[in-house]
């Protein structure tokens, strides 16, 4: 994983995405706090990001971008609600990251086949691999 600044940028992007619907639900906060912990960011710093956005970073590798897309997908589904605005925002973030539109569309379509719409990482990776070959 990248630098500490990149980690803060990843979290900041996730926080912005969680607020697309102009609120931050408890389940979303808890999910984001777990991601922060996994990235080595303490709670105080994370809570600071809720108030002050960190600069955006460009993830260097395709693997990092796919992992971030997966985090965003998990976050979108954490509250068991998907709104058109969230789906459109997720898709546009993926486009900005340079992810293949057809792969993202396939992931968004198949997520409904899984419990809680949680696409297993290996399934997600295989979808993206198929679109890069």
pLDDT tens digit string along 59-110? Answer: 889 999 999 999 999 999 998 778 889 999 999 999 999 999 999 999 999 9
Q: Six-digit token pair at 21?
A: 């619907």
Kindly indicate the confidence band of residue 32, based on its pLDDT and cuts at 50, 70 and 90.
very high
Closest CA to 6 of 51, 64, 75, 48: 64
Using a 10 angstrom Cβ sphere, with 0-12 exposed, 13-18 middle and 19 or more buried, the burial of residue 128 is: buried
Across the range 31-60, mean pLDDT stands at: 90
pLDDT surpassing 90 at residue 119: yes
Residues in Cβ contact with 130 at an 8 Å cutoff, skipping those fewer than 6 apart: 103
Q: Number of structural domains, the chain? A: 1
User: pTM of whole model > 0.85?
Assistant: yes
- Residue 84's alpha-carbon distances to 81, 88, 105, in angstroms, are 10, 6, 13
Give the CA diameter of the chain: 43
- The reported pLDDT for the residue numbered 62 is 92
Angstrom distance (rounded) from CA 28 to CA 51: 16
Domain with 92 in it? 4-132
When the pLDDT of each residue in the chain is averaged and rounded to a whole number, the result is 91
Residues in Cβ contact with 38 at an 8 Å cutoff, skipping those fewer than 6 apart: none
């Amino acid at each position: 994983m990248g630098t500490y600044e990149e980690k803060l940028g990843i979290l900041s992007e996730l926080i912005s995405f969680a607020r697309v619907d102009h609120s931050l639900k408890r389940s979303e906060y808890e999910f984001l706090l777990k991601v922060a912990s996994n990235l080595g960011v303490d709670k105080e710093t994370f809570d600071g990001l809720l108030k002050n956005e960190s600069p955006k970073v460009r993830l260097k590798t395709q693997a990092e971008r796919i992992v971030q897309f997966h985090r965003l997908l998990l976050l979108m589904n954490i509250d068991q609600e998907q709104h058109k605005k969230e789906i459109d925002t997720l898709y546009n973030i993926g486009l900005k990251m340079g992810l293949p539109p057809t792969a993202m569309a396939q992931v968004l379509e198949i997520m409904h086949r899984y419990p809680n719409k949680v696409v297993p990482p290996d399934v997600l990776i295989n979808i993206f691999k198929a679109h890069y070959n």
